[in-house]
Chain A
């Protein structure tokens, strides 16, 4: 318990210090303009790439901008919620697809590429922060639950938080107000390929065999050594983490009397790239910490889940603070609220439909969808046109 409290204190100190330092640096280097300034500088007129002041205000209060139909947004979010409750990570991707394509924001923002680049980048920032709020805020809350369940490996938490906070700070500082929509869509498309690749691997024979082998090994162990019944569950609190060695090159700790070790550089690096990617694309990266640390560092899931949860909290706070408070990105809150409501409804449908569609077929369907979305966004972003319909 004392270690937990000290861990929280350390991580809070890290995040507060990071935000404080950021606030000292940023005001002198702020170049991003406000939405009002960007609108004022955009040419007036009725042609594409211009703003007609007499038109009805739409997204973010911009005259003539698409007026996102909240009913459609809700229905799209029901679909996203269904995906979250059946296939998982792909829900974040489809949330982004909604903001970029379905609601018509992408094409509208793109029309300002030459006439008002600042408005183009401000809308891009708004889209990715909207994604981030929608996915990561929920992950933020769920992480509190994991933190309550799990326990903290202090050196791991600090290393992970250092990498994560750095990534969460650097990406908004470097890219806010600078990434145009085309680049964002291109990188988003590449990310869809990566997630689609993971989904595909899980449907292959190799991916299936790995899981079957693990199930067989755990069953064999259970039958040979265990007779777990009801109240025989393990009380993990009786076998705490004991730090044996703590240095810049190696951390050694024991858990259940078994020794584990990791190089702190690994969580710092992993934390940095995961947080940077999550912050850049606004897709939320919290779910990647645990597989990363259990696979790469071989650490127990129980400990990693609690530790990474805290990192998600810190990273999320810093990232949103950077975008919202220091860079002044405008967010259409009602849209996100309606989307969260849709996700909540969709997630109640998921468990009822999944019994009719086998898990592996669901994944195969989404692999195909990922290939389509990935090709479309990557080519549209980097080549300027989509090689798959609609062109």
Chain B
């Protein structure tokens, strides 16, 4: 499988260096996974920022339309007008569809580095398996690089968003 991005020796050498940093291979694996997760999150946030900058008008317009029809539908409920409620709810729903797919593209902007990282992990660590401490059945249950990297990514992401304001005080 030719992998024009990951088989690049420079990137590969750079990424694997984090996995070799601690002497203990297991510690190195998780340390490297955590650093790779952080790189993915930062790259994803930068992409998301660019996506917002490019599509600000459209994003704002869709959000305003949703808010407007939602508010109107609430007022219609309060006023007891079922006909107006149904009409506003229908239009809010119509705008929800547009918003849903816009959100999909925004999520793509923040997630693509994660998937590329998994591609690199697949190339490097496809054979790595970890035995689960608690087996759910008689059959041996192991997890590979996908599960371990996903856990690392979620933890690093949670920590990143907790401390982000310390490094980027103006970010929202």
Contact = CB atoms under 8 A, between A and B. Distances in A.
A233 B67 contact: yes
Contacts of B146: 324-325
Contacts of A350: 105
A218 B55 CA distance: 27
Interface string A89-108: 10100000000000000000
Nearest to A83: B101
Nearest to B105: A347
Interface residues of B, number: 74
Nearest to A354: B58
Chain A interface helix/strand/loop/mixed: helix
Interface string A74-100: 000000010011001101000000000
Contacts of B67: 233
B75 interface: yes
Of the listed residues A145, A225, A334, the one surrounded by the most CB atoms of chain B closer than 10 A to its CB is: A334
Nearest to A335: B119
Contacts of B76: 221, 225
Contact of B92 (A133, A257, A302, A334): A302
B116 A218 contact: no
B72 interface: yes
Given A81-B108, A214-B91, A234 B74 contact: yes
Nearest to B89: A301
Given A217-B84, A325-B143, A236 B112 contact: no
Interface of A: 20, 23-24, 27-28, 57-61, 67, 70-71, 81, 84-85, 88-89, 91, 133, 135, 137-142, 145-146, 210-211, 213-218, 220-222, 225-226, 228, 233-234, 236, 239, 255-258, 286-287, 290-291, 294-295, 298, 300-302, 305, 324-325, 332-338, 340-341, 343-344, 346-348, 350-351
Interface of B: 1-6, 47, 50-51, 54-55, 57-58, 67-81, 83-94, 96-98, 100-122, 136-139, 141, 143, 146-147
15 contacts: A61-B1, A70-B4, A70-B5, A142-B103, A211-B90, A214-B90, A218-B72, A221-B72, A256-B74, A257-B77, A302-B70, A302-B74, A335-B119, A344-B112, A348-B50
